[in-house]
Amino acid sequence: MPPRPRPPRRRRATALLLPAGLLPVGLLPVVLLPAVLLLDFTGLGRHLRVARGGTVRLGRSTRWATPEAADLLADERTVSGRHADVEFAEDGRVWLTEVPRGSSNGTRVNGGLALTPGHRHEIHNGDTVELGPRVEFLVRRPTPHRGATAP
C-alpha cells in the first residue's frame, strides 16, 4: 500500500497594524484608483457618472448620446447633438474628444483654446470643461483609497 500523502500545511493568517503614514521596509504605497468618475454639471444641478473602462457620449441627440447625457442636455441649444466623448480608461487616465463634424460651438478645457475635433485631450481632476458658451462641467474623482503592496 502506497504511503498516504500529507495534507497541505495551513498558513497562519497574519495582520500588521501600523501607525498612519508608516510602512514596513519592503512595502510600497499603492493608490487604488476610483471606479467612478463624476462629471459635475453644477449649473444644471446634476452630474453624470463614468465607470472606469467606460465612455460617456455628451450631446443632445437621443440616438447618439448616452441616454443620461441626452436627457441632461436636451434643452441646451448651444450643445450639439453629437458634441464630445469622455473616456475613463482602465489605467485611470481620462480623455476628452470633441466629435469630428459634430460640435458647432466648440469644447474648451479650463478656458483655453477650443479643442481640435477628433483629437484626444487628457483631462484631470478639477478641470473645467466647457461645451459651447453656456454649459460646463467639473471633472471630479472620488477620494482614492490607499494601501500597500510588496515590490
Mean pLDDT calculated for residue range 73-81: 96
Mean pLDDT calculated for residue range 56-60: 97
Q: Looking at residue 16, what is its pLDDT?
A: 45
Instruction: Name the percent of the chain lying above pLDDT 70.
Output: 74
Q: Looking at residue 111, what is its pLDDT?
A: 94
The tens digit of pLDDT for each residue in 4-35 reads 777 666 555 444 444 555 555 565 555 566 78
CATH number of 30-145: 2.60.200.20
Q: Looking at residue 30, what is its pLDDT?
A: 56
The residues with which 50 forms a beta bridge, in sequence order, are 37
Task: Using the CB atoms, write b or e for 11-34: b if 16+ within 10 Å.
Answer: eeeeeeeeeeeeeeeeeeeeeebb
Three cell numbers written together for 105:
460651438
Q: Using only C-alpha atoms, what is the Rg of the chain? A: 23
Residues 6+ apart with CB under 8 A from 84: 57, 58, 59, 96, 97, 98, 99, 102, 103, 107, 115, 129, 131
pTM, 2 dp = 0.72
The tens digit of pLDDT for each residue in 94-123 reads 999 999 988 889 999 999 999 999 999 999
